[in-house]
Structure formats: C-alpha cells, structure tokens
C-alpha cells in the first residue's frame, strides 16, 4: 500500500474517483488473463488524457514508484500483472475516436478504446479495421500495440505493427513523444515507432494511435475441413496459395481441441458425423461480382485427396457457428483443466519436420497431461496448450510437470530457429526462455535500449528480461 500522501497526490492528478484501492479493484486491474502470478498492486490510477498520464508518470519517476501499464487485461503472457506493489496505470478512460479520415482511410484514437469499437467505427463508414481476435471486445488498441497482436486475419492483413501509422507515447521520464503524424511515407532517420510496438509496456505508455483502415473485403466464405494428417494441412495451404484465392484466414485445430469446444461452448456442435484428427478453418474472399471461389477450391482439395469431409457456411448463422468452433477454443480450454500455454512459430517450410517431432511429445506425454494444438497455421503459428486433466492435482504441481515437456519442445524448436512467442509476448511467463529465440547480443542490445529510456527501471519492471 502506498503512503497516504502519495495517494492524495495521485488523486490530485487524476481526480478522487480515479484512484482505486479496494481489494477487488486491486485484484481485477492488477492482472491479465493468466492466472499464474498473484496480483499485488498498491493502487490503480485511471487518467483521462495524455497530460494526466504524463503527470502520473512524472510523479512516479520523482518518487521512484514502479508502474504497470494496463489495457484490456486479456494478455496471455503475464505482462500486465502487477506482482510487487506497483502503480497500475489503466488506459480504460481514454476511449475517444478523435478523427476518422475516410479519404486517407485512417482513424486516430485514444489508446484505451477496444479493438471492437475501432472495427465498428470503420464499418459505419464502409471501411474495415483488420486486426481481429477473440478478445476484441475487451482488449484495447494500446494493448494490441504493446503486444504487437497477431490474430486470425494476419495471413491477409498482417498484425498490429502493419496497422499502425502513428503513435503518441509517454516516456518513463514523463515526456510526451508525438510520433502520431499518420504519414504513410516518412524516411527521416530511425523509425522510433517500431521500438514501442511489441515492447510490452516496458519502454513507454501508448496514449494515442493513428491506424490504417482498408476497404472492406468482399463477402467472405468460410469452410471447415476434416483433414486426416498434419501433412495434408500443409498441402491444402499450398493448393490455396497456388490457386490465387484471397485467403483471409487459415486456422487449424486438432480433434482434442474440437471435442473440448463441443463439451464447454454453449450451443457448439460438430458439423461432421465422423471424427477427424485435424480440422482446418478456411476463409476466402468471394470473387469479383460475387463469384463463388470456395466451391472450385474445395473440389481441387478433394480431388487431391487431402480431406475426408468439408462443410461450407451457407448462412450468416452458420458462418458464426463455424467460426465459433475455432474462436471458442481458448475459453473452453480454461474450463477444461489446468492450462499452460505455448505460442510458437516456425518458418512454414519447417512446419512439417517440426510437427513430426512434436507428435512424438504429444504421444509421450503423461496420460493426465493432454497436449492440445490449434492456431494460425497459415502464418506458421502454433498454439500448444498443456491441459492438466487431474483435477485433484494442484496447479503448481501440474505446471512443474508441463514445464518439463515444454522445455523439451523449446529445445527442439530452437534447432529449427523458431520463436517461443509468435504473438502473445514474453511478459513474466516466458522471460526465462528468451534465450531460445534471441541471441545474447540481441538481448544485450534490448537491455541497453531499456536502460537508455528507463534508467531507473520503473516501467513494467521484471517483464521480458530474465
């Protein structure tokens, strides 16, 4: 708990009602979606403007108080968890849309707005904001930028980095860095914006952003395919690539993931009579003039003997239902047992060899730890979830056993030069494993950048670096 004098100083900066100290607020704002570390912040501060963020940060700098920037708290790496009496600085009151430029196709927003609100604002004027993830109703643009979120449309539009034209950042000193010009072209020295994208709140607090919008894709057609082998998934991806169709999503999940969704997600039902080891969710844009590109594509895939069955959505209700089979995996897993999550990526060309090795680990895992695979396979991004089925076992005991399997998988991954985090980030959960994907010189350089911007180590301390 902070001293009463510090609390009254913070109340003076952001208003009495915007400094929270009740145990339920400390618990709710002090953590993200993970449940591994205990939340122990000392206070929650909710500024309403960049000037207030800067004042709070400058105050914390003067008093040497550590800060955890907080967005929608949907993060999956423990990066927004305050474990050590930090000041949690939440952007939740900064939700304004400041400008929507229909000609330039950009939107300027405050960083606390949710991803879904930006999607809806774009839609209202006939444009499209492409970052899409199941957490869109809660996660914030500032959080998306700080994690460089990926999501289910990455294959077509890229991740958050690709959508950001400009940002405004409050530095650990309290100085405001305005890189929010929204210019599409600007070669005037180093592109400093990129440093903050994916920096997990360790280098600055994002307060505003100008984002790129796109014309809306044509109608999207979605299909779920029953696939007999992992190799066939990759061959389907290859067929799609050569067919010249406009893929907007290429996701996969295993039978285990599918069955867990059927068990826990309200109203979920399998579109297939028979079970299949793998499923692919394929989304394509309709051809110009409403031409059906899905049907000929599926015929080609059937002809190549790559699937045992397929279902195509013929109504918007079915479209949602099929997407639900993929988007409900995370929530369903969390209801199924203890969970440890991996979020790895490989060059697409390495996937076949790596997954052959991964299958060995899946088969060798203890009976009460199920390895459930799903993810953005079209981007080379696999989510491996370790599910502890023994309800009597403590989370700590399960987690320690799952860690041993994880370490073996990370060692295999490092040999393929894969990444231990494709999109969720390092946070607290993966900092011991940074060396699997980053060389010593890289980590040293990252530490030097952190030291330069935040010499007192006050902004999100203890995150990313081992």
* Interface with ligand MLT (CB under 6 A): 134, 329-330, 341, 343, 375, 383
Site for ligand FAD (CB under 6 A): which residue of 86, 285, 321, 423? 423
Cα separation of 277 and 344, whole Å? Answer: 21
91 binds, among ligand MLT, ligand FAD, none (CB under 5 to 8 A by kind): ligand FAD
Q: Which two tokens stand for residue 204?
A: 């600055």
Q: Does 91 interact with ligand FAD (rule: CB under 6 A)?
A: yes
Chain-centroid distance, C-alpha 67: 22
Question: Could you tell me where the DSSP H helices lie in 125-274?
Answer: 141-147, 154-157, 160-163, 193-196, 230-243, 255-264
Q: Which is nearer to ligand MLT, 73 or 341 (CB)?
A: 341
Q: CB nearest ligand FAD: which residue?
A: 143
Q: Does 73 interact with ligand FAD (rule: CB under 6 A)?
A: yes
Please report which helix (H) or strand (E) contains residue 342, including its range. strand 338-345
71 binds, among ligand FAD, ligand MLT, none (CB under 5 to 8 A by kind): ligand FAD
Quick one: DSSP state of residue 114? B
Mark residue 23 as left, alpha or beta (left: phi above 0; alpha: psi -120 to 50; beta: remaining). Answer: alpha
Binding segment toward ligand FAD, per CB under 6 A, in 16-24, 76-84, 307-315, 392-400: 76-84
Pairing of strands 19-20, 43-45: antiparallel
CB of 425 to ligand FAD, least distance (A): 7
Q: Which is nearer to ligand FAD, 312 or 426 (CB)?
A: 426
CB of 401 to ligand FAD, least distance (A): 24
Binding segment toward ligand FAD, per CB under 6 A, in 75-83, 226-234, 314-322, 445-453: 75-83
Q: Which two tokens stand for residue 118?
A: 């930006």
140 binds, among ligand FAD, ligand MLT, none (CB under 5 to 8 A by kind): ligand FAD
Q: Which is nearer to ligand FAD, 312 or 375 (CB)?
A: 375
Q: Which is nearer to ligand MLT, 41 or 159 (CB)?
A: 159
Which residue in this structure is represented by tokens 């530095």? 171
Cα separation of 430 and 79, whole Å? Answer: 10
Q: In what order do the strands lie in the sheet with 106-110?
A: 97-101, 106-110, 205-212, 164-170, 176-179
383 binds, among ligand FAD, ligand MLT, none (CB under 5 to 8 A by kind): ligand MLT
33 binds, among ligand MLT, ligand FAD, none (CB under 5 to 8 A by kind): ligand FAD
Q: In what order do the strands lie in the sheet with 381-388?
A: 309-312, 220-227, 278-285, 247-254, 369-375, 381-388, 338-345
Contact criterion met (CB below 8 Å) for 141 and 109: yes
Query: 339 to 398, contacts with ligand FAD by CB under 6 A?
Result: none
Contact criterion met (CB below 8 Å) for 368 and 386: no
Q: Which two tokens stand for residue 441?
A: 């010189």
Q: Does 330 interact with ligand FAD (rule: CB under 6 A)?
A: yes
Q: Which is nearer to ligand FAD, 351 or 459 (CB)?
A: 459
Q: Does 172 interact with ligand FAD (rule: CB under 6 A)?
A: no
Pairing of strands 43-45, 87-90: parallel
Q: Which two tokens stand for residue 463?
A: 């995150």
Residue numbers of the site for ligand FAD (CB under 6 A)? 32-33, 68-76, 79-80, 91, 111, 133-135, 139-140, 142-144, 146-147, 149-152, 200-201, 205-206, 330-331, 423-424, 460
């Amino acid at each position: 708990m902070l001293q009463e004098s510090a609390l009254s100083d913070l109340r003076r900066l952001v208003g009495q009602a915007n400094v929270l100290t009740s145990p339920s607020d400390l618990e709710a704002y002090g953590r993200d979606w993970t449940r591994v570390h205990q939340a122990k912040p000392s206070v929650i501060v909710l500024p309403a403007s960049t000037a207030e963020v800067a004042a709070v940060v400058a105050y914390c700098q003067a008093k040497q108080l550590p800060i955890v920037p907080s967005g929608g708290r949907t993060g999956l790496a423990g990066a927004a968890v305050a474990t050590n009496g930090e000041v949690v600085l939440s952007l939740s009151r900064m939700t304004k849309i400041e400008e929507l430029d229909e000609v330039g196709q950009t939107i300027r927003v405050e960083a606390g707005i949710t991803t879904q609100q930006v999607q809806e604002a774009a839609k209202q004027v006939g444009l499209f904001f492409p970052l899409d993830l199941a957490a869109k109703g809660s996660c914030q643009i500032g959080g998306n930028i700080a994690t460089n979120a990926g999501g289910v449309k990455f294959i077509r539009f890229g991740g958050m980095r690709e959508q950001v034209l400009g940002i405004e950042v409050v530095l650990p000193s309290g100085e405001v860095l305005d890189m929010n010009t929204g210019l599409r072209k600007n070669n005037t020295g180093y592109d400093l914006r990129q440093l903050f994208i994916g920096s997990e709140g360790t280098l600055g607090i994002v307060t505003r952003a100008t984002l790129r919008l796109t014309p809306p894709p044509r109608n999207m057609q979605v299909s779920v395919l029953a696939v007999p082998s992992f190799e066939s998934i990759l061959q389907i991806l290859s067929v799609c690539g050569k067919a010249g169709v406009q893929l907007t999503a290429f996701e996969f999940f295993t039978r285990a993931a599918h069955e867990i969704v059927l068990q826990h997600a309200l109203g979920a039902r399998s579109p297939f009579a028979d079970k299949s080891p793998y499923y692919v969710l394929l989304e394509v844009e309709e051809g110009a003039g409403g031409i059906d590109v899905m049907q000929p594509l599926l015929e080609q895939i059937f002809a190549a003997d790559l699937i045992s069955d397929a279902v195509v959505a013929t109504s918007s209700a079915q479209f949602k239902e099929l997407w639900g089979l993929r988007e409900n995996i995370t929530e369903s897993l969390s209801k199924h047992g203890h969970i440890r999550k991996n979020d790895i990526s490989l060059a697409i060309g390495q996937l076949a060899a790596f997954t052959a090795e991964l299958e060995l680990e899946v088969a060798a895992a203890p009976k009460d730890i199920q390895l459930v695979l799903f993810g953005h396979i079209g981007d080379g991004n696999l989510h491996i979830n370790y599910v502890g089925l023994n309800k009597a076992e403590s989370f700590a005991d399960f987690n320690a056993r799952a860690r041993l399997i994880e370490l073996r998988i990370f060692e295999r991954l490092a040999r393929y030069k894969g990444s231990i985090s494709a999109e969720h980030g390092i946070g607290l959960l993966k900092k011991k494993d940074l060396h699997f994907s980053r060389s010593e010189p890289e980590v040293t350089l990252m530490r030097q950048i952190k030291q330069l911007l935040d010499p007192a180590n006050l902004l999100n301390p203890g995150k990313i670096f081992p």
